[in-house]
Amino acid sequence: MTYDYDLFIMGAGSAGAAAASKAASLGLRVAVAEQEALGGTCLNRGCIPKKLIVYAADFALHNKIAPDYGWSKSSSHFNWTQFIRSVHKQIDRINTSYKERFEKNGITLLRGHATFIDAHTIKVDEHKVSADKILIAVGARPFIPDIPGIEYAITSREMFHLPYLPKRLAIIGGGYIGVEFASMMNALGCRVTVIDTSETILEGFDDDIRKSLQESLSKRGVKFINNSTATEIKHYEEGLLLTVSGKYKKTIAADSILVATGRAPNTEKLDLDNAQVEMGEKNAIKVDEYSRTNQENIFAVGDCTNRLQLTPAAKSEAVAFVNTIFANHTETVNYNEIPSAVFARPEIASMGMTENQARSKFGDSVKCYSNKFQPLMHQLASTEEQVIIKVVVEGESERVIGIHMLGEHAADIIQCLGVAIRKGITKQDLDEAIAIHPTTAEEFLTLD
């Protein structure tokens, strides 16, 4: 049978765009459907604009210690409206580059909502097309808890469209999205309260690292209400009231309430039943290690699947899919080798096993090396900034199976060390490496 396209991709986010470019480079006929801005969540309402806010907040933090470095104190004012306008201009420029890349690579871009008619036929609004292979890369959306008054809250999507900087911000959820916004909005002058159901924020990260980050943010003025759940939101003349129950029972007054309780796959309106695609828990698409669904010609990658919800993971899955199906190069993604970071201040980053995970798997053969110190930049300042580094090793060879860090440039440092971990380095390899002095990264090479 002759099809309109060799590959049809639902979604032009990070994963969809990566798959499209790779497939087009192999000479395939590729089409992509997207109903919103190109680049998906990461570009338009996630990684990129969020990191730009982090940079804006860094100026406020650096201004606090500038007098300790000889700079005279001066008053300054942050213009949220002007800043957000600049952020959206930059996003528009990147959006344009996506479109130009598609045109240059001969990729057909269909604007509209794509749904299945059958396993090989898709409808984009009222336009029907057929394809030999179909890739679902529709991403995810913020999960909205079912509590009274939730309509008064906003998600990370709306944070980038706030008309003004709220004086009081309550955040429901202590995952990476909630923690990052708590950090940057606090630095910009907001009074921030975080409500989390766990004892400590950032469940899944190494315990020493996440506890230290919560302590650091607390010292900067972020208030944490742990082991508690948001149960109701009410509107009143001066703002919003958030009721919290659990270990702590209280009512919090806020100008804005951010819901950051995770993300749900964008799979509800795809008419997947028409293609008989099997679903898993929480409406995620079930796939195997090669991103194949139960239908041999339909695949899925990224946040809409039952795997890791991270942009680098989604892009790696997309490229691995194209290589496996079209380039005769079987490829899978090793999820244990994907680094992750939380761009709070201080920043944290991690790769491999946490101490608890390692001990659960390897028992007494696990050993940890760690150090806690004040970074050089803050030794002239009156701040109590700390860096924590931790290396988890296993066996007589002391093979490195996990690295974790809290502190400035953590993401960049862990990113580089991650390459070495993939090659099976040991603690001795770290010890024998020659460091650059004075740097924070050198501490990984001098652990006792």
**What CATH number corresponds to the domain at position 431?**
3.30.390.30
Q: Quick one: pLDDT at residue 74? A: 84
Is 352 annotated among the ligand-binding residues? no
Number of domain units in the chain: 3
Q: What angle do CA 188, 194, 196 make, to 5 degrees?
A: 155
16 is in an annotated binding site: no
**pLDDT computed for residue 384 by the predictor:** 83
Partners of residue 224 on adjacent β-strands: 194
Domain shared by 10 and 138, yes or no? yes
207-254 confidence digits (pLDDT tens): 999 999 999 999 999 999 999 999 999 999 999 999 999 999 999 999
Q: Is 223 annotated as contributing to ligand binding?
A: no
- Does residue 175 have a known ligand-binding role? yes
**Does residue 173 have a known ligand-binding role?**
yes
* Listed residues 207, 236, 261: the one ending a domain: 261
pLDDT score at 217: 98
The answer to whether residue 382 scores a pLDDT higher than 90 is: no
**Is the pLDDT assigned to residue 88 strictly greater than 90?**
yes
Same domain, 436 and 311: no
382 shares a domain with 318: no
Domain limits at 97?
5-142+264-335
* Same domain assignment for residues 205 and 130: no
At residue 141, the pLDDT reads 96
| Catalytic-residue membership of 437 | yes
Residue 340 lies in a domain: no
> Which is catalytic among the residues 62, 88, 329, 437?
437
Is 180 assigned to a binding site?
yes
> Do 91 and 50 belong together in one domain?
yes
Residue 316 domain flag: yes
Q: For residue range 129-159, what is the model confidence (pLDDT) as tens digits?
A: 999 999 999 999 999 999 999 999 999 999 9
pTM above 0.85, yes or no: yes
Q: What's the pLDDT at 76?
A: 87
- Could you tell me if 89 and 129 lie in one domain? yes
Q: State CA 109 to chain mean position distance.
A: 26
Assigned token pair, 36: 């919103």
Residue 303 counted as an annotated binding residue:
yes
179 known member of a binding site = yes
| One domain, residues 56 and 199 | no
Is 14 within a domain? yes
Residues 226, 181 share a domain: yes
According to the model, what pLDDT value does residue 306 have?
85
One domain for residues 403 and 294: no
408's CB contacts (< 8 A; 6+ apart) are 346, 347, 375, 377, 387, 440
Q: Is the CB of residue 409 less than 8 Å from the CB of residue 54?
A: no
Is the same domain home to 204 and 293?
A: no
Q: Are residues 284 and 136 in the same domain?
A: yes
Residue type, 240: L
Residue 442 — very low, low, confident or very high, per pLDDT cuts 50/70/90? very high
Given 335, 356, 373, the domain boundary residue is 335
- Per-residue confidence band for 346, with pLDDT thresholds at 50, 70 and 90: very high
In this structure, are 138 and 18 located in the same domain? yes
Strands (E), 287-427: 298-300, 340-342, 348-352, 366-373, 387-394, 399-406
238 assigned ligand-binding residue: no
Task: Report the candidate in 267, 291, 298 with the shortest Cα–Cα distance to residue 131.
Answer: 298
* CATH number for the domain that contains residue 272: 3.50.50.60
Question: What's CA 240's distance to the chain center, in Å?
Answer: 28
Q: Report residue 23 as tokens.
A: 């497939």
| Burial group, residue 368, by CB count within 10 angstroms (0-12, 13-18, 19+) | middle
List the alpha helices (DSSP H) in 3-155.
14-25, 40-45, 47-65, 80-104
